[in-house]
Structures are given as structure tokens and as C-alpha cells.
Chain A
Amino acid sequence: MNIELRVNEQDFRLVVEPDERLLDVLRNRLGLIGTKEGCGEGECGACTILMDGKAVNSCLVLAAQAVGHELMTIEGVGDRLHPHPLQKSFVELGAVQCGFCTPGMILSAKALLDRNSQPSEEEIKEAMSGNLCRCTGYDKIVKAVQRAAEEVAR
């Protein structure tokens, strides 16, 4: 089927299968491989993207369901020269180890900060609890989100 998707403020016309997952379209058809697949069943959060500003698991969304929505992947958050405060704080505080969870973590954190710019530690943990990380013990991730919140507030 023919669809049109708006990803990272760009419009794409695509031909997709009716049952094709948004995750696969982003990775395989658009080459946006920053979005990861950890479990494919909505448990790990590695595939998190923003849909109209809300964090969703792109492995549970069909590409066709994303039509008409504003999508953002990690590629749209920032880049090497213009990193988002979250990307900066993750790097500076050592919140990235293997990095597999990182894109999802950043997007969940961004969704949180966009609606609550001064979250408490509990609110951060709550917001990130759908994103599994096997490496960091979350300690530095939570601190990185706190640091980014401070920077955004400034």
C-alpha cells in the first residue's frame, strides 16, 4: 500500500506491506537504524520513538497506523555538531555503555522533559521504566536526565 509518513520533519512517500511494522519501515526502508529492536514484543523499549511527542514502541505500531502523525527518531533529536542536552549529558556522565538501549532511553527522556521540565528522581525512573538496560544499572542514566533537565531549564 502507498502511505506518506512524516519523520523528523521530513515527508516520505512509501510503498509498504499492510502488516509492516513501523520499526521495520524506519530501519529498512528509511535507513534510520538508530532505532533498535530488542524484543519485538513491547517489553524492552529499544525501539522507542516519539509519535506526536509521546514515547511509543515502534515494534507495536504498524507503519500504516503512523500516517498523519508527527514522528521523531533518534536521528531527529540532534547530531554530532548539535547534540540535544540529553545526548550531551549521556556522553559526559558516562550513561552509555553498549549503547543498544540509548536511543530509546533518550527518546523516553525527551518525551518526559518536553511535558515536565523539572521531574523528580522518582518521575524520571517511572518514565524510563519501560526501557530496559542491561549495562549501566540505570544509575548514570537517571543522573544524565537530571543534568539535562537542569540545562533545559537554564
Chain B
Amino acid sequence: MKKRGIGLGCGWYGTGYGNGFPDVSSAFVEIHDDGSATVSTGAVDVGQGSSTVFAQIAAEELGLEPQDITVITGDTDTTPDSGTSAATRHTYNTGNAVLKAVREAKERLLDHAAHEFSCTSAQGIELKEGWIGVIGDPSRRQPLADMVFQARLHGERFISAESSTARTTPVDRENGQGAPYWPYAFGAQVAEVEVDTETGLVQVLRIIAAHDVGRAINPTQVEGQIAGAVAQGVGYALMEEVELHEGVIKNPAFSSYLIPTALDVPNIQTIIVEEEEITGPYGAKGLGEPAMVPTLAAVVNAIYDAVGVRITSLPATPEKILAALVEKERTFGEGGMRQNIDS
């Protein structure tokens, strides 16, 4: 018989290296005389989209389009170190370094422009759609490229280097006190599953995933990160297991270590929650790893809701589910009397 159930999972996750480990990102920025800009950072985009986020941040500050920004990454000859692409840290930490660097170069540019436009303060200058000019006075503006080009002829360059260090203190081993991570990410997911009581097979039908990302700098990428995490979470919950024998992995192949295919992944509905993280770039914080955390609990809880058995070790394989169903029947008789377990 196939039985359906619904389960909820909630998760929180400390992002960054944490526990006092130095967590530093850096960036160089240069605004060029063709009206474009370059961001250099050691942060490597492994597909999560960090380079796109950096381009968006620089473009937003400079009144340009993301395609006007060249992002150079991961070259130890030319880019400043920004740590690893790990710990859910690039949008937040490297994003902060990029933002600081862009703002520094921009400040110099605005000061220069204020002088050129005979404006008393740089606060009266704006960068918009590739132009630089005096706020509220359309007669006093010029293409950004012209301004930077003229400045260059006078020996002015708009170049900056900045870094950003995440807040973290080690936990006191005596009393457990400390602030190991900042910021924390939060999420909740609901899973609907169908369990086949004859075979023990679980099909995850649907996942609704709500995640607080502070601010979604790139909503498409946020959805992509959530969907990817849900797929890994489904694999973690139901099929993936590294089998070790005397320190040797017995299943180091896709034929013996199964990961979800397109057919195993449920319908995924994402809900982006934007609760501003004031220390993040435009209020953003990381999402990569935490998006997987609630999936496991949601799936395992949904299995319980469907057939009344608690699976307490992962993955929840058909063997484990069948064994638990047999055990339940033995204890509570035919039909299982799920109420007995619940009460």
C-alpha cells in the first residue's frame, strides 16, 4: 500500500569559518576610463554564482550594468586572497569586501567629480546609468567614461583595495560561551512523501522551502541554491551512504553510491524570506549549506507521518523502513496502532 505523509523540518546554521578562525576576504577595484570597472578577488565561483553577485554589487554602486563589470577571480598571481569557496561565506564576506572596495574607489571618484563640477560636496554627486553628475541638475553631468578619462590625463586613478573580516570569537571550552558565528541563516521546509509499505521505497513528492537570505541579491541564484540543496538533502535522507571498510571506501562509484536523478527530485517550491542582515552587503547573507539542513528532518518526519515509524539513522533506506514496519507490527499488532506510538 502507498501511504502519504507530511513533515516539517527547521534549521539554523552558523555561516563563515567560525569559532575564532580568521575569516578574511579581500578585493581590488579599478574604475576604468571606458566607463567599466574591474573587481579582482581570490573568491572562486564554483557555480554558486559569486562572481555574478560581485558584478551586481559593483554595478549597483557605480550606476552601471553588471555586464560592465569584469570580475577576475582565483588567480594567485593577481587576485588578493579571499579564503575558500566554502562555509556559505562568499556572498556575505567577500561581498562585503567587494562593497567596501567599490565604495572606496567611488568615494575618490565622487570627490574628484565634485571638484570638476564645482560642487561643494561629494554628496551632491550621483552615478547613474553610466553617467556622473550633480544631483538634480541635468545640465551638469557627463558620461562616466569621459570623467574617468579626463581624470586619468591629470594623473588621477580610481583604484582601491579592501578587505572584510567576519565577526567570530572562539567558544570558551570551560563554559561554552562565545559568539562563534556571524551571521546565522534560518530556514524551514515542508516535505510530502509517499511510502510504499510493501517495498519500503520512499518518493518525495513535494518540498516547500522557505529560507531567510537577508536580501536576495540574485533571486534566480537563490532558487538554484535551494533546489540544489533540496536535491542533495533528499539524497542524504534516502540514498547516500559512504560505506567504509577498514578505512577504505567500498562504494566509490556512481553505480554503488547513488545520488538523486531528475526522477528522484521532488517538485520544489521556494519562498525567499528577506529579513535584512545589517552587517551584510545590502543586507544579504549566505544560503548554500543551510538550505540542505531542513530537508532531512522534513523527509524523515514525513515518513513518520505516512507510516508511523521513526527512522533514526540516515539514509532512510527501504530496508530500514521495512524493518521498522515489521517491528511496529510486532509491538502493536496488525495495522500498527500508530496512536500508541504518538501518545
Residues of A within 8 A of B (CB): 38-39, 41, 43-44, 93-94, 96-99, 124-126, 128-142
Contacts and interface: CB of A to CB of B under 8 A. Distances in A.
Given A43-B255, A99-B47, A135-B228, A140 B223 contact: yes
B307 to A, nearest CB: 26
B254 A43 contact: yes
A100 to B, nearest CB: 8
Interface residues of B, number: 25
Contacts of A39: 253-254
6 contacts: A39-B253, A126-B263, A135-B224, A135-B228, A137-B228, A137-B230
A138 B263 CA distance: 9
A41 B224 contact: no
B264 to A, nearest CB: 9
Contacts, number: 77
A39 B251 CA distance: 13
Contacts of A97: 47-49, 224, 228
Main secondary structure of the interface of A (DSSP, over half): loop
A87 to B, nearest CB: 17
B227 interface: yes
A129 B261 contact: yes
Given A94-B223, A97-B224, A138 B49 contact: no
Nearest to B255: A43
Interface in B228-262: 228-232, 253-255, 259-262
B265 A138 contact: yes
Contacts of A142: 262
Interface string B174-199: 00000000000000000000000000
Contact of B262 (A43, A98, A129): A129
Contacts of B259: 132, 134
Contacts of A138: 227, 231, 260-262, 265
A140 B225 CA distance: 11
A39 B254 CA distance: 7
B326 interface: no
A43 B228 CA distance: 19
B261 A132 contact: yes
B223 A41 contact: no
A125 B262 contact: yes
Interface string B198-233: 000000000000000000000011011011111110
